[in-house]
Amino acid sequence: MTTESSVYEFSRCRGKSVKELLSEDEVLAGRFFVCGGAGLCGACKAEIISGEVYSEGRVYSKGTVVRMCRSEALSDRLRIMVPPGNSGLDSGFAEADFNIPSDFAGEAFEGVRAAVDIGTTTLALALFDASANILCRQTAVNPQCKYGADVVSRIAFAMSPGGLNILRKCVADSIGNMLFAALQKAGADSAQTLYVSGNCAMLHIFFERDISGLASFPFRTDFLRSLNCASFMGIKAERIVSLPSMGAFVGADAVAACVNVGLFSARENSVMIDLGTNAEIVVKYKGKIFSCSAPAGPAFEGGGFESSVKAQNGAICSVYQGEGAHLKYATIGGFPPCGICASGYIDFLAVARDAGIISAFGAFENGGKCYNFTDSVRICRAEISELIKAKAAVQSALKTIFSEIGAADFDFFHVYIAGGFGKGMNFSNAIKIGLLPPFRNALVESVGNAALGGAVMCALSGKIHDFAAECAAKAEVVELNMCPSFQDNFIDAMSLGEVDAMQ
């Protein structure tokens, strides 16, 4: 295979699937086959430049666009081009920004330490010294994506013969490479310790622990307590430490995020919402800690949408009302549009609904299949459906947990939105579509990758780490699948519209 910009050329490929050809390169496979090649995400659409393929019951040739995961080469040579904006997920989708409180004091140690947040879709790593100086940040796509887009599919693959080892090797190799690159930039040979946050499925895979307890009720995990072990698989750290979890599906990433934003020590009622593939919610209400999780899917992290891009120059970051069915938009840096970033998708749902372009259920009122911002940047009906499902998962989870603990959204004074999806989010539009309740009395703020920030804080202070473990052990996990109201709440949330209040 040879590549030239976004052009890929194959020889002696007759009878081979295009997915198989591209999967020879693990980086490309992780970028394009976000749903594992199940034909669900659309991230692998490409235009045929020369040659022929058989795809979904038809023969396609020059000038046509096909899904690579559903295509088989009919010619000896094949040349394809990935259209602008349709490049799957790249490392830019990973959020590595976080803040450490100015009054935070760590402990003295020699050398450097590292922390990594293993997300279902992305990886983020930080290298730092005892003064909390961040020496280097690294991000990457989680290479496991090609084996399944969400936690459930990843668990299923891990339980297949040899699956756990395959998943572990690819993510450990990636983290090892990220740490090695960070150490080189910092002029260090090895990290004293690598602290790891992530949901429990990612921890079971990374530490190669039996994952079957996460596959069926009652769900069980080995990571309610921290695990401290010697380094493995060539990762340049003396020790590797996992952070503790609250429950099987409220993992160390949620615990770390709560550490970073100060929720565990907060005196006022507070909520932390981590918007990722597995959305996690932690509530501090009347001095007690409650938590739950909801499978939002990869939509909040780019999800392989045709025009999804990171927050970069040219990304459509804001959408607002134009004339009639015409919407106006703003791009980062004022550059020509190259795609749509997360905040742009939220704005589109709210503004397009207000303008009568889409219905409450996401269908285009004119019967069309997509809305075109430019010839190459658009949002399609299937993508809107995925965003609404992700929105419904979070909305119904919030409504259910508030109901279970006897709280209402106006009882809270601080709301923290963690994860890259919350960065730059127009909270008014998020409320308008029902992603968030009004939170009338709360200060709502985006906190970036709070999970990575909390992992750094735990790595800097043993006292903070011990306090996090103590709070995690006290937390009450609300199992949404056991709540009779959750399914009804989810169905009710499968439309766009502001909720009056949650109680």
- C-alpha torsion angle, residues 345, 349, 354, 356 (rounded to 10): 110
Tell me, what's the pLDDT at 300?
66
The two structure tokens encoding residue 162 = 């040899």
Give a yes or no: residue 49 inside a domain. Answer: yes
Query: What is the rounded average pLDDT of the residues 401-417?
Result: 96
pLDDT of residue 409: 93
Q: Is the pLDDT of residue 228 over 90?
A: yes
Handedness of CA 447, 448, 451, 457 (dihedral sign): negative
In angstroms, the CA 18 to CA 80 distance is 10
Is 53 part of a structural domain of the chain? yes
Residue 46 lies in a domain: yes
- Confidence band of 31 (pLDDT split at 50, 70, 90): low
Does residue 328 sit within a domain? no
Give the whole-angstrom CA distance, residue 383 versus residue 373. 15
The total of other beta-carbon atoms located within 10 Å of residue 70's CB is 18
CB 276 within 8 A of CB 119: yes
Cα–Cα distance for residue pair 232/169, rounded to 1 Å = 11
Between 450-460 and 252-261, two packed helices, what is the crossing angle to 10 degrees? Answer: 80
* Structure-token pair, residue 392: 């419904």
| Digit-coded pLDDT (tens) for 171-185 | 999 999 999 999 999
On whether the CB atoms of residues 409 and 402 are closer than 8 A, the answer is yes
The average pLDDT across 88-101 equals: 66
**Could you tell me where the DSSP H helices lie in 214-357?**
252-261, 342-354
Q: What pLDDT does residue 421 have? A: 73
At residue 240, what are phi and psi to the nearest 5 degrees?
Answer: -125, 130
Domain span at 63: 2-83
Give yes or no for residue 242 having a pLDDT over 90.
yes
Residue 249 pLDDT greater than 80, yes or no: yes
pLDDT tens digit sequence for 131-142:
999 999 999 888
pLDDT over 50 at 500, yes or no: yes
| pLDDT tens per residue, range 413-432 | 999 999 877 777 899 999 99
Contact 120, 278 (CB under 8 A): yes
- The stretch 195-223 carries a mean pLDDT of 96
Q: CA–CA separation, 297 vs 275, rounded Å?
A: 10
Q: Kindly state whether residue 14 falls inside one of the protein's structural domains.
A: yes
Per-residue pLDDT band at 95 (split at 50, 70, 90) = low
Q: Can you give the pLDDT at residue 210?
A: 96
Q: Is residue 127 part of a domain?
A: no
Element of type H or E holding 15:
none
Q: Which residues are within 8 A (CB) of 99 and not within 5 positions of it... i.e. 6 or more apart?
A: 260, 447, 448, 453
Residue 96 has pLDDT above 80, yes or no: no
pLDDT score of 226: 96
Examine the pLDDT at 146 and tell me if it is beyond 80: no
Beta strands across the sheet bearing 7-11: 2-4, 7-11, 77-81, 45-50, 65-67
- The predicted-structure confidence for 442-452, as pLDDT tens digits, reads as follows 999 999 999 99
**Three-state SS for 180?**
helix
Identify the band that residue 338 occupies on the pLDDT scale cut at 50, 70 and 90: confident
Per-residue confidence band for 4, with pLDDT thresholds at 50, 70 and 90: very low
Please state, in angstroms and rounded to a whole number, the distance separating the CA atoms of residues 371 and 428: 22
Token output for 486: 């959750």
pLDDT digits (tens, 9 = 90+) for 41-83: 556 778 899 999 998 788 999 888 787 888 999 999 999 987 5
187's enclosing H/E stretch is none
In the predicted structure, residue 34 carries a pLDDT above the cut 60: no
CA distance 378 to 322: 17
Residue 333 maps to a domain: no
Q: Does residue 37 register a pLDDT over 90?
A: no
> What would the mean pLDDT of 308-334 be, rounded to a whole number?
86
Rg of the chain on CA atoms, in Å: 22
Please report whether residue 21 resides in a domain: yes
Q: How many domains does the chain have?
A: 1
How confident is the prediction for the chain on average, in pLDDT?
Answer: 88
Q: What are the angstrom distances between the C-alpha of 121 and each of 62, 158, 303, 321, 365?
A: 33, 16, 9, 32, 33
CATH assignment at residue 73: 3.10.20
Which of 92, 81, 73, 128 lies closest to 452 in space, CA to CA? 128
pLDDT digits (tens, 9 = 90+) for 253-312: 999 999 999 999 999 999 999 987 788 999 999 999 999 998 887 776 656 687 887 677
User: Using an 8 Å Cβ cutoff, are 334 and 351 in contact?
Assistant: no
Percent of all residues in the chain with a pLDDT value above 90, rounded to a whole number: 66
Phi and psi angles of residue 102, each rounded to the nearest 5 degrees, phi first: -65, -25
